[in-house]
């Protein structure tokens, strides 16, 4: 059986994805990481929160990493919500807006890895897997992760969104070469884009197909629906996922064990979410032994485990 056939079989065999199995509770709560300072006071007022600069697409002169604290290009992102926090005079003051079963846990891992203190504000998906409306008051698209950072007592807080950009910003400001350095910089940056740009789309499409599968439809529409879902799955989701897994397998086979060399980097942290989804989907990794080894290794990482613990649904 080819890798494609076998992955197709695995896709067909699984019934729920990590996303599709998400609970539908809508309440929010605030959680503080174990690393947090425990003095109490309120966060900077919502009005004080502004956003960082995002380079405009297609502008040649814009540096790839803009200076921190400049004006925002994110449309409409100019306010945050007040955060219940226990971090008073701890700077940088960081709050992660964390949605259950989401990309936000890899941000916690990034922060853990860099030894940064942070608060977590949690949000629960509804039955259609949407984030609650309240997330839109932090970031108009209402997507997680969103990270608020105030670097010093007298600096203006910034609101960061889009995983790749959040990573890039945090690395630029707080990483002294542990997770991205001169030697692996290009490769790490490549994976920060690749994760969302290439690996995630077929996985997301599969999650949508599963929602369509679950939705009620009377016969004969149900039969037509089933046929369409399977057609899209086998024409796009399965071959594209397989294509990506084969690529990643080859990349890991180049040696080193990690995606950007022989040590953990931000690339591994970025790819942890989509590859976790792959595992939860029931895709058997026997045909991708390097990825299988990588998954096992990542699971043993203490900071990954800490992030999973703080970011759990309990
Ligand atoms: N490209 C964005 C994607 C953000 C995103 O779609 N997040 C999902 C969670 S993994 C979300 O917030 N979904 C809730 C919704 O769409 O209502 C990123 O990398 O941060």
Q: Best mutation site among 97, 103, 138 for ligand 1, i.e. most ligand atoms within 8 A of its Cβ?
A: 103
Please state the domain count of the chain: 2
Strands 93-99 and 119-123: parallel
Decide which of 174, 190, 209 is a domain's last residue.
Answer: 174
Which pLDDT does position 56 carry in this prediction?
Answer: 28
Instruction: Looking at the structure, tell me whether residues 79 and 7 fall in a common domain.
Output: no
Clarify whether residues 299 and 188 are in a common domain: yes
Q: CA 178 to CA 264: how far, in whole Å?
A: 8
Question: Of all protein residues, whose CA lies closest to atom 10 belonging to ligand 1?
Answer: 102
Question: d(Cα 155, Cα 195) in Å, to the nearest integer?
Answer: 31
Which residue lies with its CA nearest to atom 20 of ligand 1? 162
Q: How many whole angstroms from 219 Cα to the centroid of ligand 1?
A: 33
Distance 253 CA to ligand 1 centre (A): 31
CATH number at residue 221: 1.20.1050.10
Please indicate, yes or no, whether residues 146 and 214 belong to a single structural domain of this protein: no
d(CA 163, ligand 1 centre) in Å? 9
Q: Write down which residue in 174, 201, 235 finishes a domain.
A: 174
Cα 75 from Cα 55, distance rounded (Å): 13
For 100-237, where are the alpha helices, taking DSSP H only? 104-113, 163-174, 185-194, 200-214, 221-232
Question: Do residues 202 and 265 share a domain?
Answer: yes
24 assigned to some structural domain: no
Domain edge (last residue) among 154, 174, 194: 174
Q: Are residues 239 and 120 in the same domain?
A: no
Residues 40 and 160 grouped into a single domain:
yes
Q: Do 202 and 244 contact (CB within 8 A), yes or no?
A: yes
Query: CA 288 to CA 284: how far, in whole Å?
Result: 8
Which residues' Cβ are closer than 6 Å to ligand 1?
Answer: 99, 102-103, 130-131, 142-145, 162-163, 196
For residues 257 and 164, membership in a common domain is answered with no
Report yes or no: 180 and 170 within 8 Å, Cβ to Cβ. Answer: no
Q: What is the mean pLDDT of each run of 10 residues along the chain (314 residues)?
A: 41 32 32 31 29 30 33 33 55 96 96 97 92 97 97 95 98 98 98 98 96 93 95 96 98 95 97 96 95 97 93 58
Q: Which helix (H) or strand (E) holds 9?
A: helix 3-13
Same domain? For 267 and 160 the reply is no
Which structural domain range is residue 228 located in?
3-18+182-310
Output the domain CATH number for residue 47.
3.40.30.10
Q: How far is residue 263 CA from its own chain's centroid?
A: 21
Q: Residue 145, preceding bond cis, omega within 30 degrees?
A: yes
Atom of ligand 1 nearest to the CA of 161: 20
Structure tokens at 45: 């007022």
Residues 234, 135: one domain? no
């Amino acid at each position: 059986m080819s890798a494609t056939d076998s992955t197709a079989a695995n896709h067909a065999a699984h019934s729920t994805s990590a996303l599709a199995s998400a609970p539908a509770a809508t309440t929010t709560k605030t959680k503080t990481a174990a690393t947090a300072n425990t003095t109490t006071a309120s966060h900077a007022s919502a009005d004080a929160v502004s956003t960082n600069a995002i380079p405009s697409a297609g502008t040649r002169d814009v540096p790839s990493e803009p200076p921190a604290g400049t004006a925002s290009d994110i449309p409409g992102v100019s306010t945050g919500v007040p955060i219940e926090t226990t971090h008073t005079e701890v700077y940088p003051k960081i709050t992660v807006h964390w949605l259950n079963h989401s990309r936000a846990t890899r941000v916690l891992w990034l922060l853990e890895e860099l030894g940064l203190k942070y608060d977590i504000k949690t949000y629960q998906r509804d039955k259609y897997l949407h984030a609650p409306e309240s997330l839109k008051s932090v970031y108009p698209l209402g997507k997680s992760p969103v990270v608020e950072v105030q670097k010093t007592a007298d600096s203006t807080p910034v609101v960061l969104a889009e995983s790749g950009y959040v990573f890039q910003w945090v690395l630029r400001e707080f990483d002294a070469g542990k997770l991205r350095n001169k030697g692996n910089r290009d490769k790490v940056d490549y994976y920060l884009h690749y994760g969302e740009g290439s690996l995630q789309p077929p996985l997301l499409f599969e999650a949508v197909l599963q929602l369509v599968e679950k939705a009620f439809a009377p016969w004969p529409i149900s039969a037509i629906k089933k046929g369409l879902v399977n057609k899209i799955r086998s024409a796009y989701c399965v071959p594209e996922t397989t294509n990506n897994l084969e690529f990643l397998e080859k990349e890991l086979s180049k040696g080193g064990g990690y995606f950007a060399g022989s040590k953990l980097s931000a690339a591994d942290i970025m790819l942890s979410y989509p590859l976790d989804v792959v595992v939860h989907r029931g895709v058997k990794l026997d045909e991708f032994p390097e990825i299988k080894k990588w998954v096992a290794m990542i699971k043993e990482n203490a900071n990954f485990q800490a992030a999973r613990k703080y970011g759990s649904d309990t």
